[in-house]
Amino acid sequence: MARENPDTFSDWNQRQRALSRWDNEGGAGPGGPATDSSSPHTDPIAVPDLTNAELVTLRIRVIALENLMISLLATASDDQLRLAREMAGYISPRPGFTQHPLTIHAAAHMVDVVQRANHFRDSGS
């Protein structure tokens, strides 16, 4: 449900909390998910390689999601588009780590998706 008078400070706090979890949920460590030494399940879990069929399916799903994002961004407000571009700047390495080429590419791709959405915004006017 949309708020009629959004509290920008509250929105900023919510965004900061979400971004602070980005690095520590699911894969924060250089070798995969971070482990808690107090947890009884500290052994790494063996993950089997994806089959070609699984990779093809994953690629199709990513393409579909990207196109859905473009369609949603095509109707987004200027503030939402600005925020989407700004979020690309938050993709950065954890302290003590260097920038990875895939991370740089992901940030550039985020901006590209917003620009592709702008194409559809302009064509509708």
Show the domain range for 113. Answer: 48-125
User: How far apart (Å, rounded) are the C-alpha atoms in residues 33 and 36?
Assistant: 10
User: How far apart (Å, rounded) are the C-alpha atoms in residues 38 and 123?
Assistant: 56
* Residue 62 covered by a domain: yes
How many domains does the chain contain in total? 1
pLDDT single digits (tens) 50-70 = 899 999 999 999 999 999 999
Angle between helices 52-74 and 78-88 (to 10 degrees): 140
pLDDT single digits (tens) 80-99 = 999 999 888 887 666 777 77
* pTM over cut 0.85: no
Better-scored residue on pLDDT, 109 or 96: 109
* Residue 15 covered by a domain: no
Q: According to the model, what pLDDT value does residue 94 have?
A: 67
* Residue 31 covered by a domain: no
* Residue 24 covered by a domain: no
User: How far apart (Å, rounded) are the C-alpha atoms in residues 46 and 3?
Assistant: 44
